[in-house]
Amino acid sequence: MPFMDKKFILTRQGLVSLKSEYDELTKVKRTQITKRIQTAREFGDLSENSEYDAAKEEQSLLETRITQLEDVLKRAEIIEPVKKADFVVIGSTIVVEIEGEKDEFTIVGTIEADPSKKKISNESPVGTAMLGAKVGEVVEVVTPIIRAKYKILEIK
């Protein structure tokens, strides 16, 4: 799929959270950073002004994030909340066993993915391999370097 046609899969909650981040960045942060740059300018000599450099750097990061969010919001595809399904879909929370250990995570769209909060992207090796799998099934996830077997214990 050409990159420009790519849809960003989001839950409703994910969409709300991205919209609120966008509003915060465009309505609050943008003004704050402009003020900081203005104040730093008043310190004088821009070539030796580290506060000015830091603020400019922050502004650049902010604008990049705003552009990214605009793009995502424009091409967002909402998935409805999953009722308990027999097989793994985007939005499923699954309990698995890997190498004798239990693990639990939710499969989400890439934009919402945050493995530290147990939200795994549908495009990650595990996410890709899990989609469509049923309880009791052993799913082998293979990358060019790694092999791992996950047994699906529960789909919540």
Interface map 52-91 toward other proteins (x if CB under 8 A): -xx-------------------------------------
Smaller CB distance to other proteins: residue 69 or 127?
A: 127
Minimum distance between the CB of residue 94 and other proteins, rounded to whole angstroms?
13
Residue type, 104: E
Binders of other proteins in range 91-130 (CB under 8 A) = 98-101, 103, 105, 113, 115-116, 120-121, 123-127
Is residue 43 within 8 Å of 51, Cβ to Cβ? yes
Residue with tokens 């969010």: 69
How is residue 39 written in tokens?
């104040």
Minimum distance between the CB of residue 83 and other proteins, rounded to whole angstroms?
25
Helical spans, DSSP H, in the chain:
12-23, 30-42, 50-74, 125-130
Candidates 13-21, 26-34, 87-95, 139-147: pick the segment binding other proteins (CB under 8 A).
139-147
Phi first, then psi, for residue 137 (nearest 5°) are -75, 145
Binding site for other proteins (CB under 8 A): 50-51, 53-54, 98-101, 103, 105, 113, 115-116, 120-121, 123-127, 141, 143-146, 148
